[in-house]
A and B are shown apart, each in its own frame.
Chain A
Amino acid sequence: MRTINMRTALLEALNEEMERDETTLIFGEDVGKFGGINKVTQGLYEKYGNRVFDTPIAEPTIIAAAVGMAITGNARPIPELQFGDFAGIAFDEIFNKMGKWRFMHGGQMEMPITLRLPVGIAGGAGPEHSQSPQALFMHGPGLHIAIPSTPYDAKGLLKTAIRDNNAVLFFEHKILYDMKGEVPEEEYLIPLGKADIKREGSDVTIIATALQVHTALEAAEDLVADGVEVEVVDPRTLAPLDMETILSSVRKTGRVLIVHEESKTGGSGAEITAQIQEEALFDLAAPIRRIGSPDVPIAQNIYLEQFYRPSKEQIIQAVNDLMEY
């Protein structure tokens, strides 16, 4: 099968869905002629003209406008924020409007928005351009949250998100844009709410998202030498969250490590931990462990930056601790 990077996979998904459905619209800062600062929308303006447009730097208005477009039923907006951190600027529009407008008006409208948000620590981008704010939105009802780790997942999930009649927050880790993986030529979709087992194993379940899936897989390879078989589960969407797959893995291994780049406190791992212990406490052979970023803002210094991102060494250490428990 051909291999392409995640940027190309996302661009293919956007292109195919723009072609398929004339009501799709892409907008955001520099997404037009410039092709987006991460080049995910490159060439779409040339192809689709006014269905792809540059907006002023006004994040609340970008999201609010998407909500207004969506509820008419005449448009399927696919806005982009240049950095996922800027969700903070448009918090009311995302949290209170995108997530709730439909419900609070009696479910009479649809909210077919796919909001693309680049996230993650990547080369000294600093405390307001490096965060992974996805867990914030697990707390707000009405929002789907996708967070792919491979080009294959990214393409299949993005296509589904665009066709979905609900609001989807689509988080893309900046480091993954250049990471390659197998993607078939023919069309496919990946459902929201279906986790993927990225590696099978019998001793420990690692639940990881985005870039950390790869770190976990590397750690798992190293752990084979110690005779430990790690299973790596990638939820792929945090909402809906596929607890069924997670729980069946947990019941098999009895040991759980959750790894993500979000700050540890209140990260998605906190919720997943709580749900596992509600459902499967007595299947556990050891307490659930979590690795997240420390609870401090992310430094701009790239030397310091590495101390935030979960490392292979930390994962190996935590798995060994679990095995010895």
Chain B
Amino acid sequence: MSALDIGTGFLEATVRTATPLAFAALGECISERAGVINIGLEGSIIAGALGATVAAGVIGVGGGFAVGALAGVAVAAVFALFTVGLKADQIITGTAITMFALGLTGTLYRTIFGTSGVALSTPTTGVVAIPGLSSLPLVGPGLFAQPLATYVVMLLAPFLAWWLQRTHGGLALRAIGEYPEAAVAAGIAPRRVQALAVLFAGGMAGLAGATLVLAQAGTFVEGMSAGRGFIAIAIVVLGRWRPLGVAAAALLFGAANSLQTLFQSMGFTGVPYQLFLALPYVLTLLVLAGASGRAASPAALGKRVG
């Protein structure tokens, strides 16, 4: 295999694995800018994955994405009920929500599909190659021959950046995360905005789960979210709570995930594969440690509001 082929494959795998992470992290970015840290993101991802699996078999891939997003919203609604409604601790609630969703999806999956061991396969989205661009050397297949979901996330990042900085709604959302008292004085209802932000993040996480199933794995596996919700939270920190930074950080994590494939294609086989499996989590720790001292987090993040 030539060096160019290896590089092309690595880029393609990087963008592919970054897509679900970017969905979840962009949603969490909005939620955190409104002052709510949702550790239950993982729960929305796995619910989105199961929702997409069930729906895609019945109403097709598009319906799968829609139901996946709704399942993510439903899980986030429980989180919002407790944290925004009852003002319960965000971290403890989020931890419980993750346990709840992992257990519930496992139970439902085994109830619906049984434990026969027969691999369940769902329809998947095809690759949409953009004419001309996709045949560029090196970057073509990575950036311009991807499933539709990847293009959606590519457009979503700049849109959210614009929305946060330039619109009235974005300003109100940021005000609540930075300085809730002033936002309330300005006539903004903090709890409504926070609830909407949490639901939006849930929907995005649901899409992340749907992408895992419908654009990548083509099947549902219990616990297949595999900590992506937590990695997404680290990505938000690395991206310094800005949508474009978050998208770039997601790419970095996609690259870390794809290193295993890169090493294999380059012929290194002596390294234990568990090292590559652990790499994204180690990277998260290193990134979070390195991001300290550059505190840019919303001032009221995690605090009880209203």
Query: Is B truly associated with A?
Result: no
Residues of B at under 8 Å CB distance from A?
A: none
Residues of A at under 8 Å CB distance from B?
A: none
